[in-house]
Structure 1
Amino acid sequence: MTITAQLLGSVRLPGGRAVVDDFHEARADGTRRLLLRRGAGLEVHDVAALCAGEVSPLAVVPVPWPGWDAGVHSAAPDGSFVVFSGQRSVRAVAVGGGALWEYRHGCWGPELGHEHSGDDQQVCPGSEHGSVRVSDDGRLVWAHVVAADADYQELWVVLDARDGRELARVPLTDSYASGSHHQSLPDGAHMALCVGMGQDGILLYWARRDGEGVVVRDLNEGLDRILLDVHPENGRFLTVEHYGADLQLHDLDGTLLAEAEPAGPGPDRWDWCAGFVDADTVLASTGHEYGDDDPVRHSLMDAKTLEHLGQLDYPGPVTGYVRPLGDGTWLTHDRASDTLSRWTRAAP
């Protein structure tokens, strides 16, 4: 069965592939922001305005370390500041460009015990990085960092968004990250951390603030899965097996609720971009990351059972990853024309 995709808007956006391939910020209040690195600045865009042709960003915030191109950053819900995940520190920068605070941590460089010149702009070899996320109420910053002492230890810390003061920390004893990303639950209280360790697997945690401490749920028993998206209402979440073999739907405690393999002819592995188009529908793709010469296919599935509903039919060729937005729409990016497009399901 095929389902017709309807174009809602397109805009030429050089470098826009990153806002589809990487994780956007969906907030509990329904706002959706895209962060796009362009030169020495990080642009903050509103999804709806951008796809309606408004290419001017809501804000442009200078990147603290121009030579550092890794890390997953986060904008405050009110758009007043951005928190950057650096190689040796987490730094909050106001929209006007002024540094608000800095939280120093150990270096993500893979060579243990290597020296630093003392130059704040020094970038050490290696692509390993952490991530940050501002909470939905704007009061906390969750950060995945390396401890500052001599022995290598990764930490998940909670910082005060006003001044960067550390409020709580959780040692991640088995983590040797190549990268990570955060996602928040629609209740605004829970936060998720997904740590990628390359061929060594994936780690996944949920946590919430509890008084002066943090309650953490370790979801790694029997899992080697990438966190893809969180349901916009009930907190259930989607994961994909490390190498794309299957897509799974989980309850908040990690319980498996449903599972799906790619349907029909073509690639037999899912790409790592998938998510909730809305509360009732999941969108996932095949053919990009593991498809070789096979065409890209975008499939809609039931959000409760992951039953296949049909393959999307576009008015023209669509390649690359797909990024569901949770509001009934999704994004694609065409590399040849550098065009970002927003789609929805056509009315029957």
Structure 2
Amino acid sequence: MTITPTPVASYPIPSGSNSRSSVDPTGPVPRLEVHDGTSLRLYDLREQAELKAEFPAPGPEWWAPVWTAPDLSFAVFGTGDGYVATAQDGTELWRQPYGTWRVDRWGYVLFTVTGPDRELRIWLRLPSGLPDATLFLTLDAEGRVLARSVLECGGYERYARLLLDADGEVIGVDVSGGSGPTTRHRLRRESGALVLAEPLPQDAVPRLPADRDYLDADSGNTRCMTVDRRGRDISWHAVPSYEVTATLRLSDFPAPGTGDCSVHNDPSISSLSGFVDDSTVLVTLHNRYDEGAVLLFGEQDWREYSHWLADPATGALHGRLEYPMSEVDYVLPLGDGTWLTQEWNAYRRWRR
């Protein structure tokens, strides 16, 4: 069964010779971010793309990461040698040298707004100078360093992120990647700085089987979805028990090369899947990358994709989405009943 989606809006992507764009779906309104080396521009995606803020870039590194303050009063750019906070009028507010690591690979910035006065705190990760330690600086809204925390975990070529409680307070640290195991520790404060405490208990941070990746959750965080890392199935779980409540397997789709799966010869379920709304999910199939075919026959790396709607309560398929254009690969469910697809010069928004 095919489903013809209804177009809702089209958002042209401002282009340049060197630029990148991405969509942040987490806020009340999806936001398009465009960074071209001269500025970072933020657009709210409503009926049209509305320019929300623009921050002049301190340098031409269009590929470098950028983090924006919650109130959009400034942005923190990861440059070749450090972090630079810039206001919308181009004023440099503060600068923090980074060191010898690559800020575009290992840099990390977190904003928290806590306490009765709703004070902004800025958390920066920097090289500690020690092989198995991680340095976090705590800054106030003006960029003044309030605390320096050296945590005896992490180190070079490992990812480190801070964990927050329901009130937005920093309670722990998560370290992953590289050659070491994933570790999670509670943090306590000593003289204003953070120090490692006991390992976090199993139920303090969601944990999934090692062969599954977390994808998305419904609006109330009562149900989440995961995908098998080999792309064999998607499962839905009750939260917080993570008991499996429904599963959609590759065998539940039409056979490869037939019917609505006629574009697929060796399909896999893609991580480009998520909640369209609480009662509908979008699931993406793609052909596995055939390296041998590329080497022998020079075929392109582009793979056939298809998008399907399904019921997260039962795992039952509703049908395949049939767009008016061909070669649709990227998709981003927004959770409000709509989703985005991307073409080379625009994002398109759809609903069932």
CA positional deviation for 1:94: 1.6
Are the counterparts in 2 of residues 271 and 289 from structure 1 also a CA contact under 8 Å? no
Distance across 1 between alignment mates of 2:30 and 2:23? 11
- After superposition, the C-alpha distances for 1:96-141 in whole angstroms (9 at most, x for unaligned) are 22233344444433xxxxxxxxxxxxx8xxx623343445888556
Partner of residue 114, structure 1: none
Partner of residue 119, structure 1: none
Instruction: Point out where structure 1 has 5 or more consecutive residues left out of the alignment.
Output: 110-122
Are the counterparts in 2 of residues 288 and 320 from structure 1 also a CA contact under 8 Å? no
Partner of residue 112, structure 1: none
Are the counterparts in 2 of residues 132 and 142 from structure 1 also a CA contact under 8 Å? yes
Are the counterparts in 1 of residues 154 and 175 from structure 2 also a CA contact under 8 Å? no
Residue 47 (1) aligns with residue 41 (2):
no
CA positional deviation for 1:324: 1.3
Bigger CA drift: 296-305 or 156-165? 156-165
Distance across 2 between alignment mates of 1:344 and 1:37? 28
CA positional deviation for 1:35: 1.4
Are the counterparts in 1 of residues 226 and 235 from structure 2 also a CA contact under 8 Å? yes
Partner of residue 343, structure 1: 350
Partner of residue 5, structure 2: 5
Partner of residue 117, structure 1: none
Distance across 1 between alignment mates of 2:350 and 2:132? 45
1:328 paired residue among 313, 329, 337:
337
CA positional deviation for 1:45: 0.7
Partner of residue 93, structure 1: 86
Are the counterparts in 1 of residues 288 and 303 from structure 2 also a CA contact under 8 Å? no
Distance across 2 between alignment mates of 1:193 and 1:316? 45
Distance across 2 between alignment mates of 1:90 and 1:303? 42
User: CA 1:238–1:206 in structure 2 vs 1: closer, same or farther (change >3 Å)?
Assistant: farther
- Give the secondary structure class of the aligned counterpart of 1:128: helix
- Give the secondary structure class of the aligned counterpart of 1:31: coil
Are the counterparts in 1 of residues 276 and 336 from structure 2 also a CA contact under 8 Å? yes
CA positional deviation for 1:171: 4.5
TM normalised by structure 1 equals: 0.68
Alignment of 1:280-319 (within 5 A): 280-287=279-286, 290=289, 295-319=304-328
Partner of residue 151, structure 1: 131
1:132 paired residue among 103, 109, 113:
109
2:53 paired residue among 54, 59, 64:
59
- Give the secondary structure class of the aligned counterpart of 2:267: coil
Distance across 2 between alignment mates of 1:252 and 1:147? 36
Are the counterparts in 2 of residues 228 and 275 from structure 1 also a CA contact under 8 Å? yes
Are the counterparts in 1 of residues 272 and 284 from structure 2 also a CA contact under 8 Å? yes
Over aligned residues, Cα RMSD in angstroms? Answer: 4.6
Instruction: Point out where structure 2 has 5 or more consecutive residues left out of the alignment.
Output: 257-263, 291-300
User: CA 1:4–1:229 in structure 2 vs 1: closer, same or farther (change >3 Å)?
Assistant: same
CA positional deviation for 1:317: 1.9
Are the counterparts in 1 of residues 132 and 154 from structure 2 also a CA contact under 8 Å? no
Partner of residue 120, structure 1: none
Alignment of 1:103-122 (within 5 A): 103-109=96-102
2:234 is matched by which residue type in structure 1? L
- After superposition, the C-alpha distances for 1:291-339 in whole angstroms (9 at most, x for unaligned) are 866531112233445443322122332512101112211111112xx12
Are the counterparts in 1 of residues 35 and 62 from structure 2 also a CA contact under 8 Å? no
Partner of residue 218, structure 2: 231
Distance across 1 between alignment mates of 2:189 and 2:218? 23
Specify the structure having the higher radius of gyration (Cα). Answer: 2
Aligned length: 316
Alignment of 1:161-176 (within 5 A): 161-163=141-143, 165=145, 171=151, 173=153
2:75 paired residue among 78, 82, 85:
82
CA positional deviation for 1:47: 1.3
Distance across 1 between alignment mates of 2:25 and 2:141? 17
Partner of residue 36, structure 2: 38
Distance across 1 between alignment mates of 2:10 and 2:157? 36
Partner of residue 274, structure 1: 273
Distance across 2 between alignment mates of 1:193 and 1:169? 12
TM normalised by structure 2 equals: 0.67
Are the counterparts in 1 of residues 338 and 350 from structure 2 also a CA contact under 8 Å? yes
Percent identity at matched positions? Answer: 29
Distance across 1 between alignment mates of 2:148 and 2:238? 26
Partner of residue 298, structure 2: none
